[in-house]
Amino acid sequence: MKATLPKQASPRPESTGAEVLEIAQISMVVEDVLAATQFIDVHTHLFAPSFGKLGLWGIDELLTYHYLEAEFFRSSHTRPEQYFALSKTQQADAIWRALFVENTPISESTRGVVAVLKAFGLPTDRLDLAEARAFFQTQSLEDHIQRVFDMAGISLVVMTNDPLDPEEAPAWLNVAREHPQFRAALRIDKILRHWASNWQALDAQGYKVDAQASGKSAAEVQRFLFDWYQRMRPRYMAVSLPDTFFYPAETVSNRLLAEAVLPSCGELDLPLSLMIGVRPQANPALRLAGDAVGRADLRSLENLCRTFPKNRFLVSVLSRENQHELCVYARKFSNLMPFGCWWFMNNPSIVEEITRERIEMLGTSFIPQHSDARVLEQVIYKWSNTRRTLAPILSNAYRLLVDDGRSVTRNDIQRDVTRLFRSNAESWMNLNGH
Ligand code: RAT
Ligand code: ZN
């Protein structure tokens, strides 16, 4: 079956790419280049196949994505506790019925499922999921991953890897985990955000730490991070932080950040990814779908970037109100790399606004998007949406440039798209080696 995404680029055979483009040609060339360039997905929750059941894929996982669960409760009388008592298949059926049969799937997340079904040539308007289930059941995972990556136009994804996750940690300890298209990221929320309920796990593993993170704790956390660096070869360390995060302040988290995490990142030459602005569990009954958003005080970033000039910070912020400040701070600090339009920001209207703002303020010195995919096939619609939203924005930037007096070639556009969607990530995350 032929994938519908992405389109193939079609430069004229005799073209060198150096010819000056007419204004009228710009959109087509931008679309071509976006379609033909393999992107790097710098933050996902996907797993290489050797992680077994941790890697989610297929129609039932697509439908029970927590972005859709949140929408489901708005269009169904099913209460969260009833929903969570159902089997995965029953949950998927309930969501399909409520959001795709009884309502028109026009939200971003519902349209995403439609786009995935369409990409595989599956019907998008059936009353049940029988055909879709039959299709996914017959796929073999390794081949399916390759096909999905091709359809999404991506060559490499970065996973999210939690060394304190009871299911994930044994997988790292027992089997070699190299895969040419997956790279690791060392997720440290349990250390930086939830130390009170996790220091005991480190203690039990022989690291001399205590509840206050006093004494040798910082050095021992560094030893823990180094040990996991050896196992995972992560490309960065990462934490998601609440809207209330502030640095500096006298907290255990900040002590661990300043005395353990940042020195480790420095020594290992790894950036630290800060995803700022979650209001955790605003509605706990919704579980993973229960987090909300709050505006954060980004003077924390100013303080971190200035106090730790040798460290590099990859930053995504969840509140729309924080996006402009993030651009301003990126102009002040070259050790700050804005990335992605995260979670509640990943809607065309907001992606458009954020990306225009970033181009206007930062040129091509940022990473426009990541998928945050939790389910393999989501990369198909998320990256298709990114290309669709980005094409007019980039085209407009080039038209303005031409209008202001500078010619533009296909090679210029290719260089920019490569920088935005590949080489900023490659150089910041040292992605090329194993
Ligand atoms: O976007 C999401 O799926 C969120 O639930 C989070 O996982 C977020 O992306 C994160 O990495 O913390
Ligand atoms: Zn995420």
State how far the Cα of 189 lies from the Cα of 198, in Å rounded to an integer. Answer: 10
| Tens digit of each residue's pLDDT (9 = 90 or more) over 21-46 | 999 999 999 999 999 999 999 999 99
Ligand nearest to the CA of 68: 1
- The full length of the chain comes to 434
Q: What is the pLDDT of residue 175?
A: 78
Q: How buried is 310 (Cβ within 10 angstroms: 0-12 exposed, 13-18 middle, 19+ buried)?
A: exposed
Any atom of ligand 1 within 6 Å of the Cβ of 374:
yes
Task: Give strand ranges (E) for 264-340.
Answer: 272-279, 292-293, 313-317, 336-338
| Tens digit of each residue's pLDDT (9 = 90 or more) over 204-239 | 999 999 999 999 999 999 999 999 999 999 999 999
**Nearest by Cα to 103 from 78, 69, 76, 83:** 76
Summary mean pLDDT of the chain: 96
Residue 261 to residues 220, 240, 273, 314, 390: CA-CA distances in angstroms? 11, 14, 11, 14, 35
Q: What is the pLDDT of residue 1?
A: 42
Q: What is the pTM of this model?
A: 0.96
Q: What is the pLDDT of residue 12?
A: 72
Bridge partners (DSSP) listed for residue 161: 186
Residue 67 to residues 108, 289, 291: CA-CA distances in angstroms? 9, 6, 11
Query: In the structure, what pLDDT confidence band is assigned to residue 9 with cuts at 50, 70 and 90?
Result: low
State how far the Cα of 405 lies from the Cα of 220, in Å rounded to an integer. Answer: 58
Ligand nearest to the CA of 344: 1
Which ligand 1 atom lies nearest to the CA of residue 67?
3
Any atom of ligand 1 within 6 Å of the Cβ of 69:
no
Any atom of ligand 1 within 6 Å of the Cβ of 387:
no
β-strands 292-293, 272-279 pairing? antiparallel
| Tens digit of each residue's pLDDT (9 = 90 or more) over 129-171 | 999 999 999 999 999 999 999 999 999 999 999 999 999 999 9
Query: In the structure, what pLDDT confidence band is assigned to residue 176 with cuts at 50, 70 and 90?
Result: low
Q: Whose CA is nearest to atom 11 of ligand 1?
A: 240
Q: What is the pLDDT of residue 11?
A: 67
| Tens digit of each residue's pLDDT (9 = 90 or more) over 248-280 | 999 999 999 999 999 999 999 999 999 999 999
The residues placing their C-beta within 5 Å of ligand 2, an ion, are 372
Q: What is the pLDDT of residue 14?
A: 82
Query: In the structure, what pLDDT confidence band is assigned to residue 177 with cuts at 50, 70 and 90?
Result: low
Residue 157, CA atoms < 13 Å, CB-side half-sphere: 31
Lowest mean per-residue pLDDT among 5-9, 61-65, 281-285, 394-398: 5-9
State how far the Cα of 403 lies from the Cα of 361, in Å rounded to an integer. Answer: 19
Q: How buried is 18 (Cβ within 10 angstroms: 0-12 exposed, 13-18 middle, 19+ buried)?
A: exposed
Number of separate helices (H) and strands (E) present in the chain: 20, 9
| Tens digit of each residue's pLDDT (9 = 90 or more) over 317-331 | 999 999 999 999 999
In the reported structure, the alpha carbon of residue 161 is separated from the centroid of ligand 1 by a whole-number distance in angstroms of 13
Q: What is the pLDDT of residue 434?
A: 64
Any atom of ligand 1 within 6 Å of the Cβ of 240:
yes
In the reported structure, the alpha carbon of residue 318 is separated from the centroid of ligand 1 by a whole-number distance in angstroms of 10
State the DSSP string of 113-168: HHHHHHHTT--SS-SSSHHHHHHHHT--HHHHHHHHHHHHTEEEEE--B-TT-TTH
Any atom of ligand 1 within 6 Å of the Cβ of 109:
no
In the reported structure, the alpha carbon of residue 12 is separated from the centroid of ligand 1 by a whole-number distance in angstroms of 42
Which ligand 1 atom lies nearest to the CA of residue 238?
11
Any atom of ligand 1 within 6 Å of the Cβ of 26:
no
Q: Whose CA is nearest to atom 10 of ligand 1?
A: 240
In the reported structure, the alpha carbon of residue 406 is separated from the centroid of ligand 2 by a whole-number distance in angstroms of 39
Any atom of ligand 1 within 6 Å of the Cβ of 372:
yes
